[in-house]
Structure 1
Amino acid sequence: MVMLLPLQTTPTANDSEYAKVHIPLALMRYRDFLEAQQVFGDGMQAQLYAPPNSKIDASIAVMLIIAIVTIALGGYWSGTCERDRLNGVSGGGGESKADSGELFLYSPLKVVFFVALMCGMLVLMYFFYSVLVYVIIVIFCLASASALFSCFDAVLDLVGCGTGRYDHHSFH
């Protein structure tokens, strides 16, 4: 049995000190402690129970499965797109450089500009973190929505439920 005592502050310790401490501890809000003391009186006692820790956390296993499936499907999709491009299945024959997937992004000026931009972003995040964190969350959400749309669009095209085409001259 453990006697519950009201705590005004949450105890803190160094990570290396936790292994040395073997005192059962229960935290309770002071308001809840006073309410429980009114119900059970001064002889209030509690027993602590800690369920056994499993070796594998289910949430980590689910995230690992999602990550593996995402990477495997992305690799397969990329490989089939590259195979189709090399076999000329995408049609037309005369592909431009923008369509071939070969982009020449690297030049010394672009690398210097990118490094300066990232340094500026880090400085801005240091001084304006409370505002920029929301900007980054919005950018992440927009990029995720765009990626999800392109995935669903490709799957719908593969299934045969692609976008409909119409001739604007037929409406006159």
Structure 2
Amino acid sequence: MLFHPTGLAGAYLIEPERRGDHRGFFARIFCEREFLAHDLVTNFVQANNSLTGQQGTLRGMHYQLAPHAETKLVRCVRGALWDCIVDLRSDSSTFGQWFGQELNAENRLMMYVPKGFAHGFLTLSEDAEAIYFVDEFYAPEAERIVRWDDPKFAINWPSKPVSLSEKDSQAPDFDPAHHLAIETPQQ
């Protein structure tokens, strides 16, 4: 696997290294040794599957507060999406910065999202399907949402969304006092 830094502290794009021949290929998408060598989380407790039928649907920007903060490993397995993360760790050198990348079934890239990041995506195709692993169980009382177009972050989305959930469309701007800006969690 190839680990590409995103420019945000602790966040990576992970690229499977294909080994193949005329029959196809084989690639690892997870290896505990390689993740540990990059100081990444290896204990995932839940796997989630998301299917979004309509192109232009935005889901996000979501995160959970400690002690339920999640590390995520996200991969698009059908169609395409533009995956985006924002560093909300108040003591991070990249606090308030964002990174986005197209993940699709062909490039097989994975986004490694550390604890303390908001995460969301915009579907670039119909029937975009993602699988993501998390290292904490979902805790509804710890869930927080930040507005996808919050001017504080000025995320450069590839297009304006055509569909949002009611919850996402009513998300507030980021306010450290309200959202409890997260200190970098110990991994």
TM range (shorter): under 0.3
- TM-score, scaled to structure 2: 0.17
| Higher relative contact order (CA closer than 8 Å, sequence separation 6+) | 2
> Greater helix share, 1 or 2?
1
- TM-score, scaled to structure 1: 0.18
> Greater strand share, 1 or 2?
2
